[in-house]
């Protein structure tokens, strides 16, 4: 609600300032662009959204990594945890099953987050890490040194970890440090014919990984569950896996971090590492929502070639002026529903502030698909919407079923199952 009110106010101020398309002279356009950014900055500053919100100490992860760096297995030193996925995969391939399990048991916070470690081993390690983290939060719940708010947060975190330990859940990444990061898999990642990765936007952390009704499908886990069900319905014979990837540090609120690309750049490194470590050679589709589309835009030029599709929804921009500047062989799809407040955010980039051109502008060059029936900024993964149906068709490669934003089939032109914008 707060976001909607502020963005509406921004839109009114921009109109008052004369930021329209009636006069397109270069000088006036430049002044209008500067004024637009200034107005947005003032609005953010006066609402307090520019306050820096530093994450908590990442002591658990730091301690675990330090221990790993000193560790050995069968007389061999352990590889750098930041080593390329292929090197880590080669390392684990040389170990016996007992040695792999032993490492996961001893270093769960490390093994559970190693891109290149076997998927099932990561699931096992992260269950152990979750048990440890739950124990820590249970103790913090009764720590008299904490404020009431601190103890309440410990309770929420403990409940979240308990939920993530439910039977049948496959946690691919888990780090309780600070506000926390995680990734969860739906489907059999090792045997999938198609893999979809959901890249969420602002305010994503362990406590917002899941939400209750009516916002279930506005959070990463709900998005992934919804997409997984839709993909299976769209093409029952295709083995699909969907990853709810909340494994990067997102902006906290619509503040300066959300208007800049710093966190997207760091997240892009993590996304590329994830995709590079996925088992098999199944085509991968990225579904990038809100600030997640900024990250996908930054990551695009270095994504592994198996990424066939990048689909963005509710995007503030991808930090380029057109799809060609993404320098990717993947097809680029874009959608926005009719009442998404992101439409009121100026599509500018000046001095690093703002994220550039609007992906649903025809001049951007993306394939624009329908988001009919979706409501607001977070409604793209709701069952029964054309946005979800289109996502599912992209995810399973059923491109002929995609409904374009216009009544024609232009968004599907030239799509044969290969790559290309």
Over residues 278-287, the pLDDT tens digits come to 999 999 999 9
Segment 25-45 mean pLDDT: 44
List Cβ neighbours of 256 (8 Å cut-off, separation of 6 or more). Answer: 44, 49, 50, 52
The confidence band for 421, taking pLDDT boundaries of 50, 70 and 90, is low
- Residue 188's pLDDT is what? 98
> Percent helix, strand and coil across the chain, each rounded to 5?
45, 15, 40
**Structure tokens that stand for 391 in this block:** 């996502």
Q: Does the structure show a pLDDT above 90 at 12?
A: no
Handedness of CA 101, 103, 109, 113 (dihedral sign): negative
Helix (H) or strand (E) holding 331: strand 331-335
- Residue 300's pLDDT is what? 98
The confidence band for 408, taking pLDDT boundaries of 50, 70 and 90, is confident
The confidence band for 89, taking pLDDT boundaries of 50, 70 and 90, is very high
Integer Cα distance of 403 and 295 in angstroms: 26
* Cα pseudo-dihedral 222, 392, 291, 5, rounded to 10: -70
Q: Give tens-digit pLDDT for 46-81.
A: 334 333 333 344 489 899 999 999 999 999 999 999
Terminal-to-terminal C-alpha distance of the chain: 36
The confidence band for 348, taking pLDDT boundaries of 50, 70 and 90, is confident
Q: Does the structure show a pLDDT above 70 at 254?
A: yes
Question: 10 Å Cβ neighbour count for 153?
Answer: 17
Q: Give tens-digit pLDDT for 312-346.
A: 999 999 999 999 999 999 999 999 999 999 999 99
Q: Does the structure show a pLDDT above 50 at 15?
A: no
Segment 82-97 mean pLDDT: 97
What percentage of the chain has pLDDT greater than the value 70?
Answer: 85
The confidence band for 350, taking pLDDT boundaries of 50, 70 and 90, is confident
pTM of the model: 0.86
59 against 262, higher pLDDT: 262
Q: Does the structure show a pLDDT above 80 at 4?
A: no
- Residue 109's pLDDT is what? 98
Which of 44-58, 142-156, 228-242, 371-385 is least confident?
44-58
Q: Does the structure show a pLDDT above 80 at 420?
A: no
Does residue 350 contact residue 406 with C-beta atoms inside 8 Å? no
């Amino acid at each position: 609600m707060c976001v909607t009110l502020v963005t509406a106010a921004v839109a009114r101020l921009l109109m008052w300032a004369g930021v329209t398309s009636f006069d397109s002279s270069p000088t006036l356009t430049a002044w209008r662009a500067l004024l637009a950014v200034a107005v947005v900055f003032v609005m953010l500053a006066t609402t307090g959204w520019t306050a820096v919100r530093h994450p908590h100490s990442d002591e658990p992860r730091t301690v675990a990594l330090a221990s790993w760096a000193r560790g050995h297995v069968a007389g061999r030193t352990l590889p750098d945890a930041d080593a390329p996925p292929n090197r880590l995969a080669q390392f684990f391939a040389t170990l016996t099953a007992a040695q792999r399990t032993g490492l996961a048991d001893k270093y769960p916070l490390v093994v559970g987050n190693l891109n290149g470690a076997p998927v099932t081993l990561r699931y096992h390690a992260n269950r152990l890490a979750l048990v440890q983290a739950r124990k820590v939060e249970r103790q913090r719940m009764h720590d008299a040194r904490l404020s009431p708010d601190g103890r309440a947060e410990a309770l929420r975190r403990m409940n979240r970890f308990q939920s993530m330990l439910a039977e049948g859940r496959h946690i691919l990444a888990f780090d309780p440090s600070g506000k926390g990061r995680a990734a969860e898999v739906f489907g059999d990642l090792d045997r999938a014919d198609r893999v979809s990765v959901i890249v969420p936007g602002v305010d994503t952390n362990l406590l917002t990984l899941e939400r209750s009704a009516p916002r279930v499908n506005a959070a990463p886990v709900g998005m992934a569950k919804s997409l997984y069900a839709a993909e299976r319905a769209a093409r029952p014979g295709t083995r699909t896996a969907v990853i709810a990837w909340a494994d990067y540090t997102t902006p906290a609120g619509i503040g300066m971090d959300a208007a800049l690309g710093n966190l997207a750049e760091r997240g892009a490194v993590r996304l590329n590492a994830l995709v590079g470590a996925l088992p098999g050679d199944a085509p991968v589709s990225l579904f990038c929502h809100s600030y997640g589309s900024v990250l996908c835009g930054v990551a695009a030029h270095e994504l592994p070639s198996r990424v066939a599709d990048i689909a963005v929804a509710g995007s503030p921009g991808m930090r380029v002026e057109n799809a060609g500047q993404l320098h990717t062989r993947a097809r680029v799809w874009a959608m926005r529903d009719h009442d998404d407040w992101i439409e009121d955010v100026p599509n500018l980039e000046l001095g690093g502030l703002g994220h550039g051109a609007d992906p649903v502008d025809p001049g951007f060059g993306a394939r624009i698909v329908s988001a009919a029936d979706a409501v607001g900024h977070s409604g793209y993964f709701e069952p029964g919407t054309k946005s979800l149906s289109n996502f599912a068709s992209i995810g399973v490669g059923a491109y002929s079923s995609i409904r374009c934003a216009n009544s024609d089939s232009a968004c599907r032109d030239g799509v044969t199952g290969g790559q290309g914008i």
